[in-house]
A and B are shown apart, each in its own frame.
Chain A
Amino acid sequence: MVQALLAGILVSVACAVAGTFMILRGLAFIGDALGHGVLPGIAVAVLVGFPGIVGAAIGAAFMIGGITLITQRSRLSSDTAIGLLFIGMLSLGVVIVSRSNSFTGDLTRILFGEILGISKQSILIQLGASVVVVITAIICARPFLLLSFDPEQAEVAGFSARFYHNVMLFLIALTVIVSFQTVGTLLVFGLLIAPAGAGALLARRIETMMGWAALFGVLSMYTGLLISYHLQLAAGASIILVSVFVFFVVFVMQNLRHRRVKITQGVKHES
């Protein structure tokens, strides 16, 4: 349980940073696609006896390469390219898994995570990745901010829009790769989007958005783990459910508050 929580906190921090930029840059679809697209990589890795994380990395690299290639060499928009790669890789993963008999137990772990059985080695890898994500984000704060604000502005300011876009994709991919073991490839996207989304509702600044996202992430991890432990539910899905629930709580509270502000302003106006 302690190890699971530790892993949860590390993953929450990485997801808060990567998820914030993912939302700000409008890269949610690619985040989702990466979560699912790594499946064939993991399946092949498990099949030949490599660590799943290596396969995930190869799968992610393949996806980003493919998306970039299609977007640059055709008139198709990036969401079409992402959709194609996403569904292609997912099907490939399912085909590989269905061909092999040795997958039944592993498959559940790949799809739904194994946060309760997470190894020390995995936690160390997650620690390393989280440090890389946070440091990269600090170094690239200016170009990331400009890029989210207006890519042309970034370019004119001397920050290559394409290069920093790729750095951002790398951060999202790295986060997905090290996070899938906690909640599984099916649900890892939830960790990227739900806490950062709730943070976006509350924050006036990007730093505070990340702070909220990390807080909500850790909160969801802890609550989700507790619920799954006591009610004997799937851990990964419980965590994601809690995080989405947190989003809606924040959303409703925000709307109630706005309405109250409007009403008080109306009263002031009349008096």
Chain B
Amino acid sequence: MSHKRVNSITSPGALVKEGLVAESSGIPFISARNLTIGYAGEIVVRDINFDLPPGQAIALIGTNGSGKSTLLKTIVGLIPPIAGQITVFGKSPGTSHARIAYLGQYHPSGFVLPLRVIDVVRMGRYPVYGLLGRMGKKDEEIIREAMRLMGIEHLADRPLRSLSGGQQQRTYLAQVLAHQADLLVLDEPTAGLDAAGRDLYLHAINDELCRGASIVVATHDIHEEAAMCHQVMLLARKVVALGSPAEVLTPEALLETFGIIISSEKRIQVLECQHGHDGSEQTGSGKSGH
């Protein structure tokens, strides 16, 4: 059921053409010009150009190693840009900590720490308050609400290490939501989530967009998550395509992005369904059974 809600609100391209264009007249949350990203001595992607206006979402799609994570890390300031310009909230990346929430792909030591779920979610409020700022009742409410949105309120006092991978991922997502950031930078947020978790996540980010936050998300979910974004960037160590989902999620562009992976018959079918919206729910791989 919930899929329908998400789809009806954010059917591909609809928002881009309607309401939100007006909002984009302010300064964009992210602006990249001739941006070259990579690590010391290794260029990953050259010449990236895009703007992300407030309240909009951009999906990054590509194989492993295509440059998605590198771009995300550049946006949050973990790695410096190699060339070109990028501004986040009009400033250089890594300076607006209180306004950016980041979900990385790996959680190196999350398993051994004696942390309860609520402690992990509470960390989402730290950037807002810095070293010593005092958190109050309102923050506890926000933390509870974030756990509720991800369906983990009943796990609040459980140690993180006792949870399944999917439950841990929900916890990390609740942490991101608890931040109430203006910009959410998410690296494969649905990895390990079950169908119910994905539903909750899609609802939650939809709410974040309505709140006026912007989202940059690296995803493999062409079918739903990318389709509900305003822009899609296809990456394969270069920008293959950039535009609205309807423009970009074409079989040709995806073929170039994914190379061999797309060659399976079934996969192409799913992608073609994407363009004729009606049939997509029925043919969507395994999501209808719930």
Give the shortest distance, in Å, between A22 (CB) and chain B (any CB).
13
B127 contacts chain A at the CB level, 8 A cutoff:
yes
Is A79 part of the binding interface, using a Cβ–Cβ cutoff of 8 Å? no
With A152-B104, A158-B97 in contact, is A205–B132 under 8 Å at CB? no
Nearest-Cβ distance from residue A204 to partner chain B, whole angstroms: 5
Interface residue from B98, B109, B114, B129 paired with A204 (Cβ < 8 Å): B114
CB contact between B126 and one of A152, A157, A204, A209 (< 8 Å): that residue: A157
What is the CB-to-nearest-CB distance from A151 to chain B, in angstroms, rounded to a whole number?
Answer: 8
Partner of B78, one of A24, A148, A156, A203: A156
A208 and B115 CA atoms in complex are apart in Å by 10
Contact: A206 with B115, CB < 8 Å? yes
Q: Given A156-B78, A158-B130, are A150 and B109 also a contact pair (CB < 8 Å)?
A: yes
Are B76's CB and A24's CB within 8 A?
Answer: no
Q: What's the dominant secondary structure at chain A's contact region?
A: helix
Interface mask (B71-99 → A, CB under 8 Å = 1, otherwise 0): 00100111000000000000000100110
CB contacts (< 8 Å) of A153 on chain B: these are 102, 104, 123
Complex contacts, A150 vs chain B, CB 8 Å: 104, 107-110
When the two chains form their complex, are residues B120 and A149 in contact, meaning their CB atoms are under 8 A apart?
yes
Once bound together, how far apart are the Cα atoms of A25 and B112, in whole Å?
A: 10
Residues in B neighbouring A142, C-beta threshold 8 A:
123, 126, 129-131
Asked whether B116 is an interface residue with its Cβ less than 8 Å from the other chain, the reply is yes
A140 in the interface (beta carbon within 8 A)? yes
B108 CB contacts on chain A under 8 angstroms: 150-151
Asked if B100 is at the interface (CB within 8 A of a chain A CB), the reply is: yes
Determine the residue in chain B with the shortest Cβ distance to A156. B102
B113 within 8 A of A: yes
- Most-contacted residue by chain B among A143, A156, A206, A208 (CB, 10 A): A156
- Set of chain A residues within 8 Å of B166, measured between Cβ atoms: none
Within A143-179, which residues are at the interface with B (CB < 8 Å)? 143, 145-146, 148-153, 155-159
| B234 smallest CB distance to A (angstroms) | 25
Q: Does A2 contact B (CB under 8 A)?
A: no
Q: Does A110 contact B (CB under 8 A)?
A: no
List the A side residues contacting B119 at CB < 8 Å.
145, 205-206
A231 contacts chain B at the CB level, 8 A cutoff: no
Across-interface contacts of B100 in A (CB, < 8 A): 156
Identify which of A143, A151, A205, A206 gathers the most chain B CB atoms within 10 Å of its CB. Answer: A205
Residues from chain B with a CB closer than 8 A to the CB of A151 are 108
Whether B102 and A152, one on each chain, are in contact in the complex, defined by CB atoms closer than 8 angstroms, is yes
Closest chain A residue to B124 by CB distance?
A157
**B116 x A204 contact (CB < 8 A):** yes
| Interface check B212, CB cutoff 8 A | no
- Are B114 and A139 interface neighbours, CB within 8 A? no
Chain A residues touching B, range: 20 to 34
* A200, B115: Cα distance in complex, Å: 10
Kindly report which residue of chain A lies nearest to residue B104, judged by CB atoms: A152
Interface residues of A in 1-51 (CB under 8 A from B): 24-26
Would you give the 0/1 interface string for A198-224, flagging 1 where the beta carbon is closer than 8 Å to chain B? 001001111011000000000000000
- Residues of chain B within 8 A (CB-CB) of A139 are 131-132
Given contacts A26-B109, A150-B107, A203-B114, A156 and B123 within 8 Å (CB-CB): no
- Whether the pair B159, A204 counts as a contact (CB closer than 8 A) is yes
Nearest chain A CB to B76 CB, angstrom units: 5
Q: How far is the CB of B149 from chain A (nearest CB, A)?
A: 20
B126 closest partner in A (C-beta)? A142
Is A140 a contact partner of B131 (Cβ separation < 8 A)?
Answer: yes
CB B131 to nearest CB in A, in angstroms, measures 6
Q: Is the CB of B109 within 8 A of A149?
A: yes
CA gap between A149 and B127 in the complex, in Å: 14
Query: Which residues of A line the B interface, CB within 8 A?
Result: 24-26, 139-140, 142-143, 145-146, 148-153, 155-159, 200, 203-206, 208-209
Instruction: Report 24 cross-chain contacts, Cβ distance below 8 Å, ordered by A residue.
Output: A139-B132, A140-B131, A142-B126, A145-B115, A145-B119, A145-B123, A149-B107, A149-B109, A149-B123, A150-B107, A150-B108, A150-B109, A152-B73, A156-B94, A156-B97, A157-B97, A158-B127, A159-B126, A159-B131, A204-B157, A206-B114, A206-B115, A208-B114, A209-B114
Instruction: Give me the 4 closest cross-chain CB pairs, A-B, nearest first.
Output: A158-B97, A157-B127, A156-B102, A203-B114
